[in-house]
Chain A
Amino acid sequence: MRHLMSPMDFTTEELDALFDLAADIEKHPDTYAHKCDGKKLATCFYEPSTRTRLSFESAMLGLGGSVLGFSDANSSSAAKGESVSDTIRTVSCFADICAMRHPKEGAPMVAATHSRIPVINAGDGGHQHPTQTLTDLLTIRSLKGRLNNFTIGLCGDLKFGRTVHSLIEALKRYDNVKFVFISPEELRVPDYITEMLSELDIPYEEHISLEDTIDHLDLLYMTRVQRERFFNEEDYIRLKDFYILDKKKMKLAKPDMLVLHPLPRVNEISVEVDEDPRAVYFKQVQYGVYVRMALILTLLELV
């Protein structure tokens, strides 16, 4: 039995197989509509999340399975002080697979240690969010046709953004991927990441201006400056609108550059960009469902 805790749990070959399956689900959804008949997904969400929880539920329903669960800690027995390990032992009796989001880092790993069913980490604090990374990779692979030979710009909050860190970790395994980090000084990518890239001889650049670099990029991954990561409201207000991607900046970009965003967006992408065919962040949400369908099938060993 396998769990998914980090995007690095899968080899690149295993990821290829997962993405091939997701691509096939996209093409032939009817073929998969009853693959999970009689199977149940438990969504154990100890903190609120709309997109991720609904995406998991949509994925399971699309496979013919059913879903049960809770969507915040107050409506679960965690409010009575139950441990994660006891909760998962109980949930193992109710469901065939579990997607867990928890504000504490490492909680899904504790669950996996005590579980009789596969556990998927659906986000643990600022640590990992592997299904977002799988979504990002599938989006790039589906729309660019490859996961190598490109320059990707990551823009916004590169310090606290876990999706950015996981994506860099995942992309470092592919050939000829060049990273361009665009952030204000205060939200630079952590040193351990730039040190890791240097050790692996993977090229990267750091910039403050998006305008000056956007024309080199094949992909632009925008991120939101997250209010909850700041202790000081003034710093948040000063930095939250540091980057706003608009039509003017998009004119400087390559005609085939793709714009991704893990969503939710606040101000960092102007709504006028939504109509641009290069803006693929809503398609990305759809790929998120396909990749979760492929993941559920893989972990339930139904492929």
Chain B
Amino acid sequence: MLNVGQIEEGFVLDHIKAGKSLAIYHLLQLDKMDHTVAIIKNAKSNKMGKKDILKVECDITQLDLDVLALIDKNITVNVIKDGEIVNKKELVLPKEIKNIIQCKNPRCITSIEQELPHMFVLSDEKKEIYRCKYCEEKYNERSQAFMQW
């Protein structure tokens, strides 16, 4: 049994679909920060069979976690303060996302102007549909077209 130490302040992201933890690591841009991070892959889970877990030691005001809802709204976010779980954060789809997903419409202006940020706006909250802010191309296949990785 792998043993990863307790964190004093930060987040424990639990019930991540097995294999998705690295995607989340990049999505939260943890590769660009110097927080202590533990990535646990393929941990045993009664509910899911296998799951991933991510532990991040950081100031809890530093990370915007709502973006995780794009990958999976069922991820459990435990907020840790003084070594204790103080809150379980519910994930809400962000209204607007910038440079997280890439517009795949070859007719979109972002296809020729590389410096433009890729902006998507939540156009239908119920159906969880995002549309490109420029060309309104629909995006809802979450497993594809994430930027940079």
Residues of chain A having any CB pair with chain B under 8 Å: 83-85, 102-107, 109-110, 124-127, 192
Given the interface contacts A83-B113, A84-B113, A110-B113, does A104 sit within 8 Å of B133 by beta carbon? Answer: no
Shortest distance between the CB of A44 and any CB in chain B (Å): 14
Cβ-neighbour of A106 out of B115, B135, B138 (below 8 A): B135
Chain A residue nearest to B132 (CB atoms) is A106
Determine if A105 and B105 form an interchain contact, defined as CB atoms under 8 angstroms apart. yes
Determine if A105 and B113 form an interchain contact, defined as CB atoms under 8 angstroms apart. no
Q: How many residues on chain B are close to A (CB under 8 Å)?
A: 17
A109 to B135: give the CA distance in the assembly, Å.
9
Chain B residue nearest to A107 (CB atoms) is B109
Chain B residue nearest to A78 (CB atoms) is B112
Contacts of B107 in A (CB 8 A): 103-105, 125-127
Determine if B112 and A104 form an interchain contact, defined as CB atoms under 8 angstroms apart. yes
Chain B residue nearest to A5 (CB atoms) is B134
A83 to B111: give the CA distance in the assembly, Å.
12
Chain B residue nearest to A110 (CB atoms) is B109
Q: Please indicate which of the listed interface residues A106, A109, A126, A192 has the most CB atoms of chain B within 10 Å of its own CB.
A: A106
Is B102's CB within 8 Å of the partner chain A?
no
A105 to B105: give the CA distance in the assembly, Å.
9
Shortest distance between the CB of A84 and any CB in chain B (Å): 7
Determine if B135 and A127 form an interchain contact, defined as CB atoms under 8 angstroms apart. yes
Given the interface contacts A103-B107, A104-B108, A105-B107, does A127 sit within 8 Å of B113 by beta carbon? Answer: no
Given the interface contacts A104-B107, A126-B107, does A109 sit within 8 Å of B134 by beta carbon? Answer: yes
